[in-house]
């Protein structure tokens, strides 16, 4: 025992020091590597943003391309990189500067002022042609080889094989392809610019060279609507049209964007609004401002690509209940070209509050869809309050409807709007109406309500003629509660039909009640609400979309003869 050698104290400390050192290395090294990688990534992002800012291309970066892609500079297969959402150019991150110098983007105006309207040549870009595209020369499929191959014109979208490309084709004039009647040619804007310098405004003579069918289209997209599809749609429309025709309304308000109509011939412009019913109302308000400025001759016709949650107005006009990319953007443009012009009634909603010392405070709204007081307005108010707190959580159309369902179920138990008939007085065209025991009153201008429900027509043996959105009449109905609203939406019950009128007056005598106009809710105290006709809006009606309600409403030939609303022709 005494002969055994005892370890020196410093040897134990040395072993403990090694353990501490290796522990620190194992913890700090990954942290250092992560920090270094994030630093390099941020430097690359700053460098990339600097290139994006100085470039004439509309560059956007992506972490993963949606289909096999090849760099237009080095011809290598790439999974991530940058693409131009105007001309469709796709490059690797390291080739951005070379691509900027080598390739030109779409020109919204020609540099040579002397060029005629029909003197623009093809602008070819090699590689990454769309799937299922065919060569204009040999009619065989393009882009089928796993490499950078074949050409595409960024204006007319024609494609051609490498071996089919000839000098004559390179120098051929571009006719702008299938959507030539929707595109504003760069040469037209160049000529307009020259005419304005010469103080001439005869745009009709200039446009006559483009043909009688030329109806240029302006895209107004809300990148924040519904499922946040607006940003991607902006790029797809820029590729198919002139980028000067495409606007993000969150960056360029509709009032400014619609001034492009004043550079076009009278009554020729069309507008496609990509967003929800609120975005459509915003655009129509801007159109009304054009009327105030004396620009009635430049008023465009408005089509809708529904990206919101309810989309009742777009559904009424035949554009469907919601767009989720189920049809290509090119087909959307074809639908716009086939659409017919109709009128939409717009109504003035005046809310007169009773203030202190009997002073009157006036609020004014413009209604396109409907006005309501009661349970559906309460659901909208609760939804709106929570969306304002966390807007990023309400980017899904399905989630939004689930939240509405939750608040509707809650109101079934609480019944915050009960005894509405004791709190309000209702007048239709100056005549007072006696109300039963209701919880809500809805004033309709269009056929659909609550995300696709035909409220006025009803179901079963009590069906009424289809409501029209251009007859100067409002349909007024009542509901008995949130549960009754749910029954109506699944076609298990009918609303209480109060009547039709040209003017509606509602007096809230006491307490606070939820109200809404076109999905914009608020809590309202004692007041007088007056709804009168304001103006008409020029809309585009697409007859290709049919819902189950539309089909059932056109199935009875006798009803069709009597009411003349069962046809799939646009309302007059």
358-392 residue pLDDT tens: 556 788 999 999 999 988 888 878 766 666 666 65
pLDDT band at 434 (very low <50, low <70, confident <90, very high): very high
Which range has the top average pLDDT, 25-39, 197-211, 444-458? Answer: 444-458
Q: What are phi and psi of 452, to 5 degrees?
A: 120, 15
| Tens-digit pLDDT profile for residues 81-101 | 899 989 999 999 888 889 988
Look up the CATH number of domain 180-196+214-338.
3.40.50
Query: Is pLDDT at 11 greater than 70 in this prediction?
Result: no
Three-state helix/strand/coil letters over 393-414: HHCCHHHHHHHHHHHHHHHHHH
Edge-to-edge strand list for the sheet holding 81-84: 59-62, 81-84, 90-91
Beta bridge partners of 125: 152
Quick one: pLDDT at residue 571?
43
Quick one: pLDDT at residue 460?
59
Of 2-16, 191-205, 243-257, 443-457, the poorest mean pLDDT is in 2-16
pTM for this entry: 0.83
Quick one: pLDDT at residue 443?
95
Higher pLDDT, residue 290 or 461: 290
Q: Can you tell me which residue has the tokens 């009542």?
A: 478
| Tens-digit pLDDT profile for residues 126-142 | 999 988 899 999 999 99
Quick one: pLDDT at residue 410?
57
pLDDT band at 7 (very low <50, low <70, confident <90, very high): low
Quick one: pLDDT at residue 372?
92
Rg (CA), the chain: 31
Residue 127: Cβ within 10 Å count? 20
CB 230, CB 307: distance < 8 Å: yes
Q: What are phi and psi of 15, to 5 degrees?
A: -65, -40
Parse the chain into domains and list their residue ranges. Answer: 46-106, 180-196+214-338, 347-535
| Tens-digit pLDDT profile for residues 216-253 | 999 999 988 766 677 889 999 999 999 999 999 999 99
Residue 264 corresponds to which tokens in the numbers above? 């076009």
How confident is the model over 327-336, as a mean pLDDT?
94
CB 156, CB 122: distance < 8 Å: yes
Helix axes 375-389, 397-414, angle to 10 degrees: 130
Q: In this prediction, what percent of the chain has a pLDDT beyond 90?
A: 41
CATH topology of domain 347-535: Tumour Suppressor Smad4 (2.60.200)
pLDDT band at 498 (very low <50, low <70, confident <90, very high): very high
Calculate the alpha carbon distances from 413 to 375, 407, 416, 438, 486 in Å: 12, 10, 9, 16, 14
Quick one: pLDDT at residue 272?
97
User: Which of 126, 157, 128 lies closest to 69 in space, CA to CA?
Assistant: 128
Which residues have C-beta within 8 Å of that of residue 105, sequence separation ≥ 6?
56, 57, 58, 84, 86, 87, 89
Query: Is pLDDT at 186 greater than 70 in this prediction?
Result: yes
pLDDT band at 325 (very low <50, low <70, confident <90, very high): confident
Quick one: pLDDT at residue 116?
57
Q: What is the mean pLDDT of the chain?
A: 82
The dihedral built from the CA positions of residue 484, 489, 494 and 495, taken in this order, carries a sign that is positive
Query: Is pLDDT at 564 greater than 50 in this prediction?
Result: no
State the alpha helices, DSSP H only, in 482-565.
482-489, 548-553, 557-563
**Three-class DSSP category at 40:** helix
Q: Is the backbone of residue 562 left (phi > 0), alpha (psi -120 to 50) or beta?
A: alpha
Look up the CATH number of domain 46-106.
3.30.60.20
Please measure the distance between the N-terminal and C-terminal CA atoms of the chain and give it in whole angstroms. 114
pLDDT band at 414 (very low <50, low <70, confident <90, very high): low
Query: Is pLDDT at 566 greater than 70 in this prediction?
Result: no
CB 80, CB 233: distance < 8 Å: no
Query: Is pLDDT at 454 greater than 60 in this prediction?
Result: yes
């Amino acid at each position: 025992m005494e002969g055994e050698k005892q370890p020196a104290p410093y040897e134990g400390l040395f072993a403990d020091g090694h353990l501490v050192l290796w522990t620190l290395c194992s913890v700090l090294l990954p942290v250092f590597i992560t920090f270094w990688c994030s630093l390099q990534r941020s430097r690359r992002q700053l460098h990339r943003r600097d290139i994006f800012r100085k470039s004439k291309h509309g560059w956007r970066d992506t972490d993963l391309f949606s289909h096999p892609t090849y760099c237009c500079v080095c011809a290598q297969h790439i999974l991530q990189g940058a693409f131009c959402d105007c001309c469709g150019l796709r490059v690797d991150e390291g080739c951005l500067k070379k691509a900027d110098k080598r390739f030109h983007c779409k020109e919204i105006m020609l540099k040579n002022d002397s060029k005629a309207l029909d003197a623009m040549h093809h602008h070819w870009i090699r590689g990454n042609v769309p799937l299922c595209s065919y060569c204009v020369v040999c009619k065989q499929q393009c882009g089928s080889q796993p490499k950078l191959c074949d050409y595409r014109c960024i204006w007319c979208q024609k494609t051609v094989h490498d071996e089919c490309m000839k000098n004559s084709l390179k120098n051929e004039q571009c006719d702008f392809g299938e959507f030539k009647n929707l595109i504003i040619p760069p040469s037209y804007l160049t000529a307009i610019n020259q005419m304005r310098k010469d103080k001439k405004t005869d745009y009709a003579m200039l446009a006559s060279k483009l043909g009688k069918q030329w109806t240029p289209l302006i895209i107004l997209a809300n990148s924040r609507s519904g499922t946040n599809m607006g940003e991607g749609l902006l790029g797809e429309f820029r590729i198919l049209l002139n980028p000067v025709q495409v606007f993000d309304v969150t960056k360029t308000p509709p009032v400014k964007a619609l001034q492009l109509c004043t550079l076009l011939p009278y009554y020729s412009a069309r507008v496609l609004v990509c967003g929800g019913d609120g975005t459509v109302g915003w655009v129509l308000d801007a159109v009304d401002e054009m009327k105030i400025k004396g620009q009635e001759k430049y008023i465009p016709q408005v089509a809708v690509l529904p990206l919101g949650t309810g989309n009742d107005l777009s559904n009424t006009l035949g554009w469907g209940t919601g767009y989720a990319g189920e049809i290509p953007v090119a087909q959307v443009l074809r639908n716009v070209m086939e659409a017919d012009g109709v009128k939409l009634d717009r109504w003035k909603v005046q809310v007169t509050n009773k203030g202190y010392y009997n002073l009157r405070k006036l609020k004014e709204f413009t209604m396109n869809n409907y006005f309501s007081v009661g349970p559906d307005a309460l659901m909208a108010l609760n939804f709106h309050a929570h969306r304002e707190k966390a807007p990023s959580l309400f980017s899904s159309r399905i989630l939004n409807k689930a939240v509405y369902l939750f608040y509707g179920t809650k109101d079934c138990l609480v019944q915050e709007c009960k005894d509405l008939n004791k709190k309000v007085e209702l007048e239709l065209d100056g005549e007072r109406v006696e109300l039963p025991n209701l919880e809500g009153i809805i004033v309709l201008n269009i056929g659909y309500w609550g995300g696709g429900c035909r409220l006025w027509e009803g179901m079963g043996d009590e069906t009424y003629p289809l409501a029209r959105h251009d007859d100067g009449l409002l349909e007024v109905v009542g509901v008995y509660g949130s549960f009754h609203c749910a029954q109506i939406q699944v076609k298990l019950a009918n609303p209480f039909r109060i009547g039709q009128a040209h003017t509606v007056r509602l007096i809230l005598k006491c307490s606070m009640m939820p109200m809404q106009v076109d999905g914009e809710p608020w809590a309202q105290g004692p007041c007088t609400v007056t709804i009168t006709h304001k103006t008409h809006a020029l809309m585009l009606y697409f007859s290709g979309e049919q819902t189950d309600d539309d089909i059932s409403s056109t199935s009875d030939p006798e009803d069709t003869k009597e009411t003349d609303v069962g046809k799939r022709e646009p309302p007059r």
